Structure 1
């Protein structure tokens, strides 16, 4: 069945030799996450069919009990060994590691159970990929090494062997630009703030915005570069092959001052941004300077990190229009870019996100796609991410990208939105069908815009990469639940019922006109246009909301069977998350009722006011629930942003800082100003997404503190205005102006409470109060 995959063996220029691989990394991982003494109970070894990290060959492992009574895991790669370790931990020891909840591996028994018979595992695809370029901004913009260390352990245990590695890329880019004579000012005007670097890397935006005209400081760039060194070292240590950046061609506007004969074009306007922040300058790959800059970029990168990969991510038209639709032009752009990569690294493989072919399908006709991709004349020199396979697969209409190797991917999440959502049938059945029907499919991957929950959907696809038949989702969910609530002596049947109800409702979307639902609360209020499956306002539900109420009751009632669940971090997180969805769903009919009452000629001002007040009360209730859990808090995001001001203040000094401190400014004041800049960036991304709300509310979050400081005031302005203005007195422009004035002011607020749960209300007491006051919402009317 897998013969077609063997045709795409990458056999040349193996980067990491067998001798360089060490099983010590697994013992170190166990020591980080399990109990003292656990590491000594494992033994790891490479099998005779060892494969290098860059070989396009499937991984396999065997778990058994050795003659010396250790838990013996043998595999043909380091990733196979970590995958086998994860299989042992979840299926035999029943412990795992989770986003937001943290590691539960330490709850394994002191004396670990030994396998009664050998357990075998074999991947069905050689690559398991993770990350979208924008994940580095939506989720990881302000991550520290502790965050990254946890993430990399999560990836390693789940068998990911091809992760994207964007952190710190600006350091290399600055060096390349300085080398050709661009000034610090030229470069600083091009680079974007920490929360928006992904779109600068894509060539969508340039520069930064905010009070004080702050630009990205060299201290940030240096600190991120140092962080990247640690990330890459750990990736390699854990047997992963990092995908590193390459030079895309997007350059500062001042490029012609140092390369006056360069062939440049202006990129297209993006996201409604003004030309000041968009229309990035693109150095044509046909220009000899392009190859020169590419060689400089990659050589500096290899010098900094070592020869650790052959994979380079490079996206030139991600939501950008090419300068021309001429077939020869498109082919030549790709051909010359490919040649620049090969000139810089003869072993280079170009990795590209295939999002452009869906997002701008009106431009990317079949003929243009074929012409563009034909520019890479050796198919194995390219690897394409079919970025949105679960929803809008492009591999079928492009005839498997005309023979280029590609990866079946799941986006799932947009902007870090947090609605319960999934397509369990699509991510189990469809990739298996694709594997049987496409000879160039070489991997499965996760490409979320943000990592903000619904973790089971990501586990499901990564586990599908080890099963040749579509996974039985009912059995899978049951096994997953048992492991998730480790720490209780028993798992009440109610928990299994809760998750099975979610499996068949929120996680079973088969209507491909709807993507992940977005909370109506998180949209700037209006009398029309808020409810429906539009591109940025996906508020329509693909399931019966009563099913979530049923699941909530199963989940809540489980605590009556076993009260110890209230102290279980997994249960705490899940109950907050499902309660969030119940209240979010209940907000929709409450809003529609308010609008009907306001529009009705028989509805009194008192009735309008009363129905509007219900919306405000519901936001307060939601904030109370969210504020019981740090994973759902605004403060976590803002504090992480501000903390980088202190970290960057102690970063290694750059010989040419882009933004030197103003004369006479104290170190403490400079650090405070820097913290304000980082916080502004963090605030702006999750709200206005641009200086003037260019992509407002796209990256909205259901976070405690954000509910009461941002969403509630907007809805108060809206309700109060409608109570006072009915019929011909209503002026939508005036209302929009009031809302925008508040939104702009919030970007630089300093006195917003970071923890709304100041009285220390416990989750169980809050839930008890909500059920008493809102029995209909929680299905307690019987």
Structure 2
């Protein structure tokens, strides 16, 4: 009896301790995000009737009281108050600080909200290359707070794993040079982790390993403080080719070339049936747990964009069984989180029979699937809801960090609501798998807000509320602008290869493959009107509002560039040299103007991207190495002239003026010269010249501004005056499909 009593007391003390920690973490979050209000916000614990989170907010004794059953719920409650009562938006950019009313707004009555699902996932392996490569703790700290405020409780946490693998491969007999040369350059580590490429842009410096190891410790500690369950990696079979020199009988095979890379960058796969597989898994999980702890959820993704050794359903089932058992033999509580991207990306091979065999091989509830690209294809509908395994509905929305205003809010609402109603009891959450963020914030905040809805959401009202907090108060002009945006840029689906023609490799017709810009389903004159409305505002609205002005203006100018290019081509076809020169000059002038607009915003600067990369270097050699890595990933991507050039294109000040405009100037000059010489423009000769230019640019050391230049509103109004008449009287951009 006495033993039972002490067990009960211990159990009670544990609960009280956890509740105290929740309140402390919530208070510290408020202090970091809204320090001027923090002493007016009180947090308390409440119980929930189910596994789903719940919060309550109300005013009491001149304070705002926020209650939640978890610190994550408390954070969402805080964000609900800031959005709906303070009319402020907490941006995912740490430089965009919220603007709060001078007096703390009062809540009438009590607000209570319960989450509609238990899991809210965020991130993609690729995000760690396209967005987060050069982040330091100050960036991560703000971002983790943003995730908490938006209710995310299952973030992908793959930073620092190379330091763990370094220790593992040392145990298995490889040398320092062999291991660091096996890794890729920093920006390319996501694709190394996904077994796509080895060696490219390596070897990885020791200082990088040490820096990222310590950074990951801080990341997972803070995520857990805020009620999140970090998803850590596990071994899926990817090994160094040189492991064969130590274990000549091991079944190690090449996974083949990936995205046009030379075969010297191939990745290698250890057959899960090989006796070496489980010892490697154990060594990795042991080392990782010692360094980072564990929440027992592991992202494990064999065969991502590569071909398995066999497509036989029985083979795929056996692979699945062995990977799962290799995890549970080290961590009996292990759960497997699998990217559903493979089922979409290789849908011709991943038949239902093969998917079912692969999923059924793991006990029900022990493997969860990220339905990765639901804004395009909802795989749950094609697989009988993943044959009973839990799954998470995910919005992808952006590939490579492309700077394109796009996303279909109303269609996302329809799909999410339908999944909540008809997706089966094993639908356990929502999430986003964006490859790069920083663009289209409205889409991602909407997706995570939907996790707290109960029934359909009125999208028009939601966007009206969004516009209110972007400006800081209700404003009819801003509301009209956002109504236009809802029915133009945010009425068509996002997708792969999205960019305006400004960012494409130059040509007389069409777009480059990674800047295809599928048919714009709106009139650019309507988007111009939204830009004009946003630019009419006087005074000093919040900095998030300035980002919108720049983003809309950039999109309008980018759309109009297609008109100028097509006029240029028309003049070439008619052998009109004067018209050719006039339109060529106009194209180059527009690129200068776009760069000038982008330069007014901290979040649109190439200089910031490069400077943050250089800051991680411990000496000049490393700084130069990181800079070249940073330049490559957003331009040529891989080997010169290969398949992925421009995949990660984005509109940044400095990049637009020197790289994109540089390419278009080469093109304009060559086409003009060919017309002057009465000869046809030579595409193949120009392509060679273009590849040389791109390669040289990645090796450059030019300095770019890392702080904003100019007044966003003044420059925006000036450009509207310059281009409005032309756009209003011009033609629709000519795009594929029109």
What TM-score do the two structures reach when normalised by structure 1? Answer: 0.88
1:705–1:755 contact (8 Å) kept in structure 2: no
The whole-number CA distance in structure 1 between the counterparts of 2:727 and 2:35 is: 40
- The match for 2:8 is none
Paired residues of 2:94 and 2:139 also in contact (CA < 8 A): no
Structure-2 residue corresponding to 1:573: 547
Alignment of 1:52-451 (within 5 A): 57-66=51-60, 68-100=61-93, 102-105=95-98, 107-109=100-102, 111-209=103-201, 215-278=203-266, 280-306=267-293, 308-376=294-362, 378-437=363-422, 438-451=424-437
Shift of 1:777: 4.3
In the other structure, the counterpart of 1:653 is none
Q: Which of 438, 446, 459 matches 1:460?
A: 446
- The runs of 5 or more residues in structure 1 that have no matched partner are 1-12, 52-56, 650-670
Q: 1:429 to 1:263 in 2, by over 3 A?
A: same
Where 1:97 maps in the other structure, the secondary structure is coil
What is the SS of the residue equivalent to 1:335?
helix
Confirm or deny that 1:628 pairs with 2:600.
yes
Paired residues of 2:554 and 2:594 also in contact (CA < 8 A): yes
How far off is 1:382 after superposition?
0.6
Q: 1:562-711, aligned counterparts within 5 Å?
A: 563-565=538-540, 568-600=542-574, 603-645=575-617, 649=618, 671-694=619-642, 695-711=644-660
Give the Cα separation in 1 of the matches to 2:59 and 2:602.
Answer: 40
Aligned residue in 2 for 1:655: none
Contact residue 550 and residue 779 of structure 1 kept, 8 A = no
Which stretch shows the higher mean deviation, 700-709 or 518-527? Answer: 518-527
Structure 2 CA distance, aligned partners of 1:75 and 1:492?
33
Cα RMSD (Å):
2.1
Q: Following the alignment from structure 2 to structure 1, what is the Cα–Cα distance between the partners of residues 314 and 649?
A: 41
Asked whether the 8 Å contact 1:627–1:633 carries over to 2, the reply is: yes
Q: Distance in 1 between matches of 2:660 and 2:718?
A: 22
2:724 aligned counterpart, secondary structure: coil
Counterpart Cα distance in 2 of 1:343 and 1:712: 56
Q: Please report how far the alpha carbon of residue 545 of structure 1 lies from its aligned counterpart in structure 2 after TM superposition.
A: 2.1
**Structure 1 position 521 matched with structure 2 position 502:** yes
Q: CA deviation at 1:237?
A: 0.6
Shift of 1:752: 4.6
- Given the alignment, which residue of 669, 673, 682 partners 1:720? 669
Most deviating of 260-269 and 348-357: 260-269
Shift of 1:530: 1.0
Distance change in 2, residues 1:743/1:103 (3 Å) = closer
Select between 111-120 and 353-362 the one with higher mean Cα deviation: 111-120
Distance 1:772 1:78 in 2: 50
Q: Is the 8 A contact 2:93 2:143 kept in 1?
A: no
1:606-662 per-position Cα deviation (integer Å, ceiling 9, x unaligned)? 2222221211111011011111112111001000100000xxx3xxxxxxxxxxxxx
Whole-Å separation in 2 of the counterparts to 1:183 and 1:50: 55
CA distance in 2, matches of 1:170, 1:248: 15
Q: 1:18 to 1:277 in 2, by over 3 A?
A: farther
Instruction: Output the CA distance in 2 between the equivalents of 1:777 and 1:448.
Output: 35
CA distance in 1, matches of 2:726, 2:122: 38
Aligned-residue offset at 1:765: 3.4
Contact 2:485 2:527 in 1 (8 A): yes
Measured in 2, the distance between the counterparts of 1:175 and 1:128 equals 32
Q: 1:515: how far off?
A: 5.6
Q: Which residue of 2 aligns with 1:668?
A: none
Cα shift at 1:509: 1.5
Q: Work out whether residues 101 and 569 of structure 1, in 8 Å CA contact, stay in contact via their aligned partners in 2.
A: no
Listed one character per residue, the Cα deviations across residues 154-174 of structure 1 (whole Å, up to 9, x for unaligned) are 000111111110110111111
Shift of the 22–491 alpha-carbon distance from structure 1 to 2, 3 Å rule, reads closer
Deviation (angstroms), 1:95: 2.3
**Residue number in structure 2 paired with 1:502:** 485
Q: For 2:350, what is the secondary structure of its paired residue?
A: coil
Deviation for aligned residue 1:778: 5.5
**1:424 and 1:457 in contact (8 A); partners too:** yes
Deviations 1:643-682 (A, max 9, x none): 000xxx3xxxxxxxxxxxxxxxxxxxxx111011100000
Identify if the C-alpha distance between structure 1 residues 620 and 105 changes in structure 2 by more than 3 Å, giving closer, same or farther.
Answer: closer
**Relative to structure 1, is the Cα distance of residues 679 and 483 closer, same or farther in structure 2, using a 3 angstrom cutoff?**
same
TM-aligned CA deviation for residue 516 of structure 1: 6.9
**Counterpart secondary structure, 1:564:** coil
1:99 Cα deviation from its structure 2 partner: 2.8
Give the TM-score of the pair, scaled to structure 2.
Answer: 0.93
After superposition, the C-alpha distances for 1:676-726 in whole angstroms (9 at most, x for unaligned) are: 110000000000001224300010110000011101110011111111124
Structure 2: distance between partners of 1:704 and 1:526: 23
Name stretches of at least 5 consecutive residues in structure 2 with no aligned partner: 1-10, 731-738
Pair 1:750-2:701 in alignment: yes
Shift of 1:770: 2.1
* 1:532-566 per-position Cα deviation (integer Å, ceiling 9, x unaligned): xx665235323322221121122122x2xxx204x
Distance 2:237 2:251 in 1: 11
Q: Is the 8 A contact 1:50 1:77 kept in 2?
A: no
Structure 2 distance, partners of 1:26, 1:105, is 18
- The alpha-carbon distance between structure 1 residues 180 and 91, as it changes in their structure 2 partners (threshold 3 A), is same
